Amino acid sequence: MTGAPALTGTHREIQALAREFAEGEIAPHAGDWNRDHHVPVDLVRRMGALGLLGITVPEAYGGAGLDYTALCVVMEEIARADAGVSVAVAVQNGLAQQPILHHGSEAQKAEWLPLLAAGELLGAYALTEPDAGSDAAALRTRAEAEGDGGWRISGAKMWITNGGFADVFVVFARTGAGSRGISAFVTRTGPGLVVGKDIPKLGLHTSSTVELTFDGMRVGPEAMLGAPGEGLRVALATLDGGRITIAAQACGIARAALELAVEYAGQRTAFGGPIARFQGVQFPIADVAARLDAARLLTLHAAALRDAGRPHTVEGAKAKLVASRVAVDAADMCVQVLGGYGYSAEFPAERLYRDAKITEIYEGTSEIQRVVIARGLLGDAARG
């Protein structure tokens, strides 16, 4: 590891902007929104005006023209206030925009990026299927060629974040056999796309997660992203970056848990004084604080590599593997330090506990991150 660079003045500025927005507009409502399963779509759209929905989009396409490091510092601030809102930000800036930015034609960039960066259109990324998650190459959704060069897409997609309100979908479908027979498309919602109801889940109650049914949806020839058969490469390259944003999300959840535990430990009294004087309370807090700093460094290191145009697949996997575990452990520690109040809905500890777990699952489970890291070390020998 060559070390994460110090944040620049520009990073500090967007960090302060995101923090102010998160503390003023998200945190005060996060408890109620999660209890009511309210997805604050209007709030997400409003973030476009602040430049938070097109962070890495070049200014020429209406974005903020910043880098992945900037996206990561924003992610941590938003996730600290509410994990569900932060994943909408991650998908908009990451999974929906990056494939267009890095694999789209000039016409596709001009068509989609300004509207996505402004929040006038919200995006989703549809790779996973009911029977193909970790094994993305096993996807079965088909895109049948039409005589005029267009395509007709049929199949089911599962667990699609932002799916309930997205205007634009990046979707992966089979145009041939094998892993080289998958292609990527970008399309608006329209006839032939049936959006399911939000799927009830353990946490992330402010995030829309739906099943999509493509029922012979017709898209024009201009919808294909990249070359035919390049879809899996587009999908995996996008996830290489997406994982770094989820690592940043995990840091935000861990930080919220740490801050709450510290505050509570200083105020709660037992046996004649604050519980903060007990080593049994101090040590778990100290462990999380040290591991959170390590996780953030890994995250910023991976982001810096991406910003420098250098390989970051393994580093992103390491960041997500470590940060997601820190988030889960930090939330567990927080519930424990708060005792009975930690288990109650009165404090956000129980929400952090439920939200943290997802960071070990989406954009590649922790097992898949280990597979990626091991392959980086062992090469072909790891493939058997």
Give residues in contact with ligand FAD (CB under 6 A).
Answer: 91, 125-128, 133-134, 159-161, 201, 204, 209, 358, 361-365, 367-368, 371
Q: How far apart are CA 222 and CA 179, in angstroms?
A: 22
CB of residue 313 vs ligand FAD: minimum separation in angstroms? 16
Distance CA 206, CA 243 (A): 20
CB of 21 to ligand FAD, least distance (A): 23
Q: Measured from the CB atom, is 285 or 368 closer to ligand FAD?
A: 368
CA atoms within 13 A on the CB side of 79: 29
What does the alpha-carbon distance between residue 189 and residue 123 come to, in Å, rounded to a whole number? Answer: 10
Beta carbon of residue 30, minimum distance to ligand FAD (angstroms, whole number)? 17
Q: How far is the CB of 272 from ligand FAD (least distance, A)?
A: 45
Write the burial class of residue 129 (CB in 10 Å: 0-12 exposed, 13-18 middle, 19+ buried). buried
Q: Which residues, in sequence order, are CB contacts of 278 under 8 Å at separation 6+?
A: none
Minimum CB separation of residue 72 from ligand FAD in Å reads 19
35 CB-contact burial (10 Å; exposed 0-12 / middle 13-18 / buried 19+): exposed
Please give the backbone phi and psi of residue 79, each rounded to the nearest 5 degrees, phi first: -65, -30
Cβ proximity to ligand FAD, 21 vs 172, nearer residue: 172
Looking at the annotation, which residues are catalytic?
363
What is the token pair recorded at 306? 């991406």
Residue 112 host element (H or E):
helix 106-118
Instruction: Tell me the DSSP string of 218-243.
Output: EE-GGGEESSTT-HHHHHHHHHHHHH
- Residue 246's nearest CA partner among 103, 152, 163, 359 is 359
Helix axes 27-36, 68-81, angle to 10 degrees: 70
